[in-house]
Amino acid sequence: MRPQELIAKKRDGGKLSDAEMRLFIQGVTDGSWADYQITALVMAMFINGLDPGEQRSITDAMLHSGTIMDFSDIDAPKADKHSTGGVGDKTSLIIAPVAAACGLAVPMVSGRGLGHTGGTLDKLESIPGYKVNLPLSRLKAVMRSCGFGLIGQTKQVAPADKKLYALRDATATVPYIPLIVASIMSKKLAEGLDVLTLDVKTGSGAFIQDLKKSKELAGALCQAGRSFGVKTEALITDMSQPLGKFVGNALEVYECLKILRGEPENSMLPSRELSVELTASMLVQSGLEKTHSRARAVIDRVLNGGSALDRFRQNIELQGGDPRICDRPDRLLAKGLKEIPIIVEKTGSISKIDTFAVGRAVSDIGGGRIKAEDGIDHAVGYACIKKLGDKVRKGDELGVLYCRNRKQAELVSANLRDAYTISDEVPKQRKLIQAVI
């Protein structure tokens, strides 16, 4: 069947069979379909929709466009967490060593930051020497030694998604739930997991901001995971303000180390709490712990007793990084940065934070990428001092910008200040975990 026949079928509202979906994904993967044919079909899918059967077929075809990892010779439940992305969202670096210290095997394939959101790989690369480009054979060896590995998507993992996502991004076809599900789940299912916990963000810094839509996405992701035999649970979590204290790569790793060392500052506690909740979901789903409260108790033990930190130290060494940062997290912080306070201009309560704008400000000074090929400055970032609901007086510090020079400060200071709405209205306290699906 020629590409134009499949395009015409979907254009006219038809349903694509399993075999037809495989043909399409094969064409994407082997390069036999031109970009204009791929995007024409994707746009037809976007406009005319995919039914649950088609969603499963495209996920399956994308999953099988590459390797499915096999960790069956590692004697522990294989589990991972995936986040839909946010600002200051640093939980992977806490969850992976904690979950490993609790007895799970965690093959965490992560991504890079783009636009206003950060990425785990960029955070890890702020650790001197740390390597994220490991072949799958090395990932397995690292997992055997310390219980988890953190790597980037290799060419072998769901290659069709890499191509399709770039084309969707360029043709305004990203925000369609069945395509998002196929994209996320093809990569996660390729990890050969028993258990997956999803962190679906909602609020002003999330990729989907509306709670109802976030629930819809979470439901569709869980259904897809379960239909492939993976125990899957989703937590819908608040992203109406940055998570924890810091936004920015090295600063976020510093925050994670403070948590793993049992020395979190108060403003870091939401990062700890969300990491604990997500890991508890992984432990209960895997059957290693019977109840949520028992899982929380075990997690507290590995966090407070230092065994999660020891796992992280081992992992850093195995992945080529400098493990001494575990003893001296302050070594991660670059010398000579300018610290620019962001000052409140009127008295009142913080009733809203444009979290997207905070993430974007950090990206604009080099802490993230605007285009996929941009480089990163790991050192720069922002400390969130005041949070939603806090009462502030004119002249107080909302936060502190860590930047290289005055020009950068001029570029984003006003945007950061304007990201906060100060009014007489005290906002309703938002729960960190909004729902569990």
Asked if 139 and 107 touch (Cβ cutoff 8 Å), the reply is: yes
Q: Which residue has the tokens 């081992």?
A: 314
Question: Quick one: which segment of 91-99, 178-186, 228-236, 293-301 binds ligand URA (CB under 6 A)?
Answer: 178-186
Residue 77 or 359 with smaller CB distance to ligand URA? 359
Site residues for ligand URA, window 358-417 (CB under 6 A)?
none
Q: Residues with catalytic annotation?
A: 80-83, 120, 168, 183, 187-188
The yes or no reply on residue 184 touching ligand URA (CB under 6 A) is yes
Closest CB 393 distance from ligand URA, rounded Å = 40
Asked if 401 and 340 touch (Cβ cutoff 8 Å), the reply is: yes
Separation of alpha carbons 260 and 308, rounded Å: 7
Separation of alpha carbons 312 and 327, rounded Å: 11
Q: Which two tokens stand for residue 256?
A: 């994670």
Residue 186 or 204 with smaller CB distance to ligand URA? 186
Closest CB 123 distance from ligand URA, rounded Å = 17
Using the 8-state DSSP alphabet, how is residue 245 labeled? S
The residue from 8, 174, 177, 269 that contacts ligand URA (CB under 6 A) is 174
Sheet holding 338-343, edge to edge: 246-247, 381-384, 397-403, 338-343
Asked if 221 and 198 touch (Cβ cutoff 8 Å), the reply is: yes
Closest CB 16 distance from ligand URA, rounded Å = 19
Site residues for ligand URA, window 134-173 (CB under 6 A)?
165
Residue 39 or 314 with smaller CB distance to ligand URA? 39
Residue 158 or 288 with smaller CB distance to ligand URA? 158
Separation of alpha carbons 96 and 83, rounded Å: 13
Closest CB 116 distance from ligand URA, rounded Å = 13
The yes or no reply on residue 46 touching ligand URA (CB under 6 A) is no
Residue 1 or 372 with smaller CB distance to ligand URA? 372
Separation of alpha carbons 394 and 7, rounded Å: 59
Task: Write down how long the chain is.
Answer: 437
Q: Which two tokens stand for residue 29?
A: 């993967």
Site residues for ligand URA, window 206-265 (CB under 6 A)?
none
Separation of alpha carbons 241 and 358, rounded Å: 9
Closest CB 183 distance from ligand URA, rounded Å = 3
Task: Name the residue whose CB lies closest to ligand URA.
Answer: 183
Residue 162 or 430 with smaller CB distance to ligand URA? 162
How far from each other are the two terminal CA atoms of the chain, in whole angstroms?
40
Separation of alpha carbons 191 and 186, rounded Å: 9
Q: How many CB atoms lie within 10 A of CB 61?
A: 23
The residue from 180, 234, 295, 325 that contacts ligand URA (CB under 6 A) is 180
The residue from 29, 183, 315, 408 that contacts ligand URA (CB under 6 A) is 183
- Grouping H, G, I as helix, E, B as strand and the rest as coil, residue 206 is coil
Residue 183 or 314 with smaller CB distance to ligand URA? 183
Count residues near ligand URA (CB under 6 A).
6
Q: 314-326 burial by CB neighbour count: b if 16+ within 10 A, else e?
A: bbbbbbebebebb
Asked if 112 and 86 touch (Cβ cutoff 8 Å), the reply is: no
Question: Quick one: which segment of 49-57, 175-183, 191-199, 222-230 binds ligand URA (CB under 6 A)?
Answer: 175-183
Closest CB 398 distance from ligand URA, rounded Å = 30
Question: Quick one: which segment of 98-106, 176-184, 219-227, 331-339 binds ligand URA (CB under 6 A)?
Answer: 176-184
Residue 174 or 333 with smaller CB distance to ligand URA? 174
Closest CB 88 distance from ligand URA, rounded Å = 18
Alpha helices in 12-135 (DSSP H): 18-30, 35-48, 52-63, 92-101, 120-124
The yes or no reply on residue 59 touching ligand URA (CB under 6 A) is no
Question: Quick one: which segment of 179-187, 193-201, 224-232, 383-391 binds ligand URA (CB under 6 A)?
Answer: 179-187
Separation of alpha carbons 90 and 229, rounded Å: 28
Q: Which two tokens stand for residue 64?
A: 């099988």
Closest CB 187 distance from ligand URA, rounded Å = 7
Interface contacts to ligand URA, rule CB under 6 A? 165, 174, 179-180, 183-184
